[in-house]
Structure 1
Amino acid sequence: MSHIALYRAWRPQTFRDMVGQQHIIQTLQNAIREGRISHAYLFSGPRGTGKTSAAKIMAKAVNCEHGPATEPCNECAACRGITAGSIMDVVEIDAASNRGIDEIRDIRDHVRYAPSEVRYKIYIIDEVHMLTTEAFNALLKTLEEPPGQVIFMLATTEPHKLPATIVSRCQRFDFRPVSLEEQTERLARICREEGIEAEADALAYISRLSEGGMRDAISLLEQVAAFGGERITLRDAVDVTGGIAADQFAKLAEAVRDRDVAALLPPVENLMQAGKSADKCMENLIYYFRDLLVLKLAPEAGSTERVVDAGAFRAMADSFSSERLFRMIDILNGYQNEMRFASQPQTLFEVALMKICTLPETQGQTAASPPEGNDRTSAASADIVRLERKVEALERRLESLMQQGPAAAAVQGASREPAAGADKGASRGSARSFGQRGGFGGALSGAGRSAVKLEPFLAAAGSRETAQVRAKWNEVLQRVKDAKITVHAWLVDGEPVSSSGDAVLVAFKSAMHRETTEKPANRELIERVLLESLGQPTKLCTVMLKEWQAAMDRAPASGGEPLQLQPEEETGDAPGAKPPWVEEAYRLFGEDMVELKED
């Protein structure tokens, strides 16, 4: 037989031919045997699992001249006519292209007439979720008062889109994805009867690609058979379907395991030269490391369905620690999200691989770690890791201070000076120190503090310079979007509230959006766009919107004195020092509850 019509030749014609839906088949056969045929059925499930085939087999079973029978004979005129599509009483409708109310009204007009050729009039509506709301309403009327000789069979891959009133009037059957073993067995049977020699690994690979759809599996087998002729190999199946062989991922995993960046890049280049997309490679690599993790944490559960060589895969899993696998998957997942908007996805893929290749171990011992007798060495390594973390945290903090300008560094130093003294003002000075959650707030809010003084921005809130920035803000947002859409997604939450000198203050509604915008890379991009749009170097300052509004409300009550979020500490001997009882009031009630008035 020619392989061109392989799927059509193996399409199920009886319930016995169906794969993986035994619970549904048994229920339908019992209903036919006992004469309890419903007026409406709903078949839902993934594509290629047999929904439409089951509906046609059901139509033949109830209309068979030797029945109703649990299995159609496929020999009588009714069965042959339904198979060929020549019986006018069995109507199959594609709701994706016939989704309007007129088509459903046509059905409603015809259901009142008795069937002319067979026992039951059958309406099979495929992809029924595509019907319009009006069409559903028209169908609902028919389902509420169905004629006795009419059966509706609805099939859909998205049952959640159906109105509850439709679902409640049908007997619902959920088709499950066909298991890997059942698919492989059926493909092997097809190959034997068609005279095709196929490797077991090739059939298993085809079954995995179909993701539980028997129709997809047979179509892929037909495609590979057309390429390989009378023999199907794993290499042929991988090449024809555009997949990536497991051994290629094994080379990448070996390079990551050995922390060998030089050995990492050639396999990536080979994948790209073979026409593989970077995002698909990333997706499959995440699956690969996920399978390693499953095999490592749950070895008794058996290997996953994607594993072909279980021995080599287990050896690879043993060479990684669970902690490292968790961190690698997290990193790869983050880069995968970035690749959706990247203009150079291959570069991001290579950077992600180099990132996980140079990832340090943080806890415990791996297969490459020293033996348990070297406790002193392990403890020293743990101390080094902790010190490296502290150094990284200090570097990030220093970079943040440098991005915020010299004013931030000055206030940071001022906030730390009172820590050397043991006076009562030290507690208030430390409460105003930089780095607490919430950023801006200062004397305006007890929840957070900022290293940026607000009084210049309050004074310039209504200035011409602020109006000019507001007028060009849409241009700024568009330029940021063109440069990097992810940064635009965070910045669009803010609005410019003031411009003073060489700085623009942006107020945010969401703290998460503000924190992400403040990241050094994002800040650098935004300030570069501000330079292009405004024509002069401009720094980006941020504040929470509610705190800015509170500052605006309190500004008139301050008696014209400058409002700042981190006033420098004053000693009791300095001119203008606050009396001790004022300091005690601040300590007991907080600065928000105390208002100091001059006599």
Structure 2
Amino acid sequence: MEHIALYRAWRPQSFQDMVGQQHIIRTLQNAIREQRLSHAYLFSGPRGTGKTTTAKILAKAVNCEKGPGPEPCNECDACLRITSGAVMDVLEIDAASNRGVEEIRDLREKVKYAPTEVRQKVYIIDEVHMLTTEAFNALLKTLEEPPPHVMFILATTEPHRLPATVISRCQRFDFRRVSLEEQASRLKTICEQEGIDADDEAISYIAKLSDGGMRDAVSVLDQIASFTDGRVSYQQVLDMTGGIPSRRFAQLAHTILDNDVGGMLQTIEVLMQEGKSADKCMENLLYYFRDLLLIKMVPQADRLTERVLDVEEFKEMASAFSRSQLFQIIDTLNHYQTEMKYAAQPQMLFEVALLKLFNIPKEEIQSAVSASHGAASSADASEVERLKRQLSELENKLERALAGGLQGDGGHGSGDRSSASASRSSSRHAAPRVSSTAKIPSGIDRFVAERSNPEFMAVQGKWNQILQAVKDEKVTVHAWFMNGEPVSMLDDSVLVAFKNDIHRETTEKPANKQLIENVIERQIGHSCRLVTMMLKDWNEAIQGAVEPSKEPFELVPASGDDPEGKEPWVDEALQMFGEDLVVIKE
């Protein structure tokens, strides 16, 4: 007997045989049952999801001799002849071959004649988006008001190419990709009926290759069954389709964790010798790390992807990488995947992309390696150590801030220092009250004196690099920070003067300030504290240094204030942080 391709032999002949698309099947069956059928339907969706098949089943259901009913009987003469394509009144037209206005005019002439063999004429126009603009215009009036004995079913994979006037005259149904579970179930049924012995893993991989198209999945199964003489295994599917097992990508991931450049290059060479293309390897590697990121960030994320076969293996590998590493890896691979489209040697770019992944901070690599060996306690200890280091750095910065404030207050001499100390010890709550605009750092006179020291000149020379580094870290912070300009440097504090108060206040936010201080530290090679003030106040301070005022400027408590009785939280703040760091606003 002549062999019939599996996708043809197993083409659904009734609504109940359809795989997926239940939202469409139920709607059509209810319309037939209640006699509410439309004169025109538009079936859109990816290839192999059942658009033309549903159209033929609908044509049989409305013309069945035992109907019309929600299911065709597939036994009467009308159903059998429609299935074989022998009914002149059920016409399937390929719009790619009949796309001109003359063919549509001929269709319009024939539409007006009543059906001769069945109850209703059905025109199935496949790939309708291929019609020309003139053909669409010729079809419009007939499509809107056809004779009562005519039904149009338009099928397309690209509904966006159809004129809105055509879409508005049809009931539109969007066919979805068939899920992995539904495809696997259908393939198992076909294997049982056809006597094909297939592994569950092989069936799942075939379903993934189809990208949601049931027809493609059955075609691949038919091809592999012929290649393997009725026995289908996972490895045979990989060999036949040129697929790459996920263990190869796991090997590449391990080489990144172990910093094994030689092992990585050897794995790539094995892939190339097996005939795998570099661009396909890059695409699959991107999907691999994308799945790792999903599993790491989202609980039960293995349900969000159809590529994960061994969930536990993926979870173990995901725990070996930090989120920042996975984001960096995906960004790098995505960049080089774009470059590979125009490269004469894609394999070389693939190797360079993977070599680029070895530039991961050492502490992250060490943390990832310990996690990859399943040492959960070590990972916890590493996290504790990291938090301890951060706490120590914050304490050091606080000490420097306190020291800088005390030194600034002591800039007038030992007598002033002793009197200031005595004043603080006798009455801590007598803090000066200043307006919100008087935000001048302590020790401003020392900043003025040090505005031309060599260390500050070096920082000023690197200021453009510092601004660019801040922009690379966060563009929004750079937009505010660029309004300021460095004016002096004292010990480990860089003074930046701003023209606009809102820019200075936004820069002073803890997160933004921390980011800027980290950037400056990387640029100049040692830790540094950011101090800000208004540019007009700085200019006044410089003028005051050149022409000292006769009367010293003193801040005194506002009249009528009673901090002890009315504002006890002021005492708490002063006791906790010290008066040098506390500014009280009216």
For Structure 1 versus Structure 2, the TM-score category normalised by the shorter chain is 0.5 to 0.7
Q: Mapping of 1:550-569 within 5 angstroms?
A: none
Q: What SS does the aligned partner of 1:299 have?
A: coil
Structure 1 CA distance, aligned partners of 2:260 and 2:3? 46
Q: What SS does the aligned partner of 1:152 have?
A: strand
2:183 paired with 1:183: yes
Q: What SS does the aligned partner of 2:147 have?
A: coil
Structure 2 CA distance, aligned partners of 1:131 and 1:231? 44
Structure 2 CA distance, aligned partners of 1:373 and 1:294? 25
Specify whether residues 145 and 373 from structure 1 end up closer, same or farther in structure 2 by C-alpha distance, changes over 3 A only.
closer
Aligned position for 1:294: 294
Task: State whether residues 55 and 124 of structure 2, in contact with CA within 8 Å, keep that contact through their aligned partners in structure 1.
Answer: yes
Which amino acid is 1:287 matched to? Y
Task: State whether residues 48 and 215 of structure 2, in contact with CA within 8 Å, keep that contact through their aligned partners in structure 1.
Answer: yes
Aligned position for 1:217: 217
Structure 2 CA distance, aligned partners of 1:231 and 1:324? 42
Q: What SS does the aligned partner of 1:302 have?
A: helix
Task: State whether residues 45 and 156 of structure 1, in contact with CA within 8 Å, keep that contact through their aligned partners in structure 2.
Answer: yes
Offset at 1:378? 3.9
Aligned position for 1:123: 123
Q: Mapping of 1:318-397 within 5 angstroms?
A: 318-360=319-361, 365-366=367-368, 368=370, 371-373=379-381, 378=386
Which amino acid is 2:147 matched to? P
Residues 475-497 of structure 1, C-alpha deviation per residue, up to 9 Å, x if partnerless?
Answer: xxxxxxxxxxxxxxxxxxxxxxx
Specify whether residues 419 and 5 from structure 1 end up closer, same or farther in structure 2 by C-alpha distance, changes over 3 A only.
farther
Which amino acid is 1:298 matched to? V
Residues 571-596 of structure 1, C-alpha deviation per residue, up to 9 Å, x if partnerless?
Answer: xxxxxxxxx9xxxxxxxxxxxxxxxx
Residues 440-474 of structure 1, C-alpha deviation per residue, up to 9 Å, x if partnerless?
Answer: xxxxxxx99xxxxxxxxxxxxxxxxxxxxxxxxxx
Please list every run of 5 or more consecutive structure 1 residues that lacks an aligned counterpart in the other structure: 384-417, 439-446, 449-579, 581-599
Offset at 1:368? 2.2
With normalisation by structure 1, the TM-score equals 0.63
Structure 1 CA distance, aligned partners of 2:363 and 2:91? 64
Q: CA RMSD in A?
A: 3.0
Offset at 1:73? 1.4
Structure 2 CA distance, aligned partners of 1:49 and 1:157? 10
Offset at 1:382? 8.3
Q: Mapping of 1:173-322 within 5 angstroms?
A: 173-303=173-303, 304-322=305-323
Which amino acid is 2:370 matched to? A
Structure 2 CA distance, aligned partners of 1:382 and 1:242? 49
Offset at 1:376? 9.0
Offset at 1:7? 1.3
Q: Mapping of 1:470-509 within 5 angstroms?
A: none
Offset at 1:419? 12
Offset at 1:300? 2.6
Offset at 1:360? 2.1
Q: What SS does the aligned partner of 1:68 have?
A: coil
Task: State whether residues 255 and 261 of structure 1, in contact with CA within 8 Å, keep that contact through their aligned partners in structure 2.
Answer: yes
Specify whether residues 22 and 285 from structure 1 end up closer, same or farther in structure 2 by C-alpha distance, changes over 3 A only.
same
Q: What SS does the aligned partner of 2:261 have?
A: coil
2:43 paired with 1:43: yes
Structure 2 CA distance, aligned partners of 1:381 and 1:81? 80
Residues 129-148 of structure 1, C-alpha deviation per residue, up to 9 Å, x if partnerless?
Answer: 11111111111111122110
Residues 66-115 of structure 1, C-alpha deviation per residue, up to 9 Å, x if partnerless?
Answer: 11121111122211111111111111111122111111111111101111
Specify whether residues 114 and 208 from structure 1 end up closer, same or farther in structure 2 by C-alpha distance, changes over 3 A only.
same
Specify whether residues 316 and 3 from structure 1 end up closer, same or farther in structure 2 by C-alpha distance, changes over 3 A only.
farther
Offset at 1:293? 0.9
Aligned position for 1:554: none
2:27 paired with 1:22: no
Alignment: residue pair count: 405
Offset at 1:46? 0.8
Aligned position for 1:451: none
Task: State whether residues 61 and 70 of structure 1, in contact with CA within 8 Å, keep that contact through their aligned partners in structure 2.
Answer: yes
Residues 152-193 of structure 1, C-alpha deviation per residue, up to 9 Å, x if partnerless?
Answer: 000011111111111111111111111000000000000001
Residues 18-69 of structure 1, C-alpha deviation per residue, up to 9 Å, x if partnerless?
Answer: 1001111111111111111110000111110000000000001111111112
Offset at 1:4? 5.2
Q: What SS does the aligned partner of 1:263 have?
A: helix
Q: What SS does the aligned partner of 1:91 have?
A: strand
Identical residues among aligned pairs (%): 60
Q: What SS does the aligned partner of 1:115 have?
A: coil
User: Which runs of at least 4 in structure 1 moved beyond 3 Å after TM superposition?
Assistant: 1-4, 361-367, 369-383, 418-423, 429-438
Task: State whether residues 46 and 176 of structure 2, in contact with CA within 8 Å, keep that contact through their aligned partners in structure 1.
Answer: yes
Offset at 1:252? 1.2
Task: State whether residues 256 and 356 of structure 1, in contact with CA within 8 Å, keep that contact through their aligned partners in structure 2.
Answer: yes
Structure 2 CA distance, aligned partners of 1:126 and 1:357? 51
Aligned position for 1:593: none
Offset at 1:430? 7.1
Structure of larger gyration radius: 2
Task: State whether residues 322 and 364 of structure 2, in contact with CA within 8 Å, keep that contact through their aligned partners in structure 1.
Answer: no
Q: What SS does the aligned partner of 2:263 have?
A: coil
Please list every run of 5 or more consecutive structure 2 residues that lacks an aligned counterpart in the other structure: 372-377, 392-447, 472-481, 484-545, 547-586
Aligned position for 2:5: 5
Offset at 1:302? 3.5
Structure 2 CA distance, aligned partners of 1:336 and 1:115? 56
Offset at 1:420? 7.6
Structure 2 CA distance, aligned partners of 1:419 and 1:77? 105
Specify whether residues 240 and 363 from structure 1 end up closer, same or farther in structure 2 by C-alpha distance, changes over 3 A only.
closer
Task: State whether residues 94 and 126 of structure 2, in contact with CA within 8 Å, keep that contact through their aligned partners in structure 1.
Answer: yes
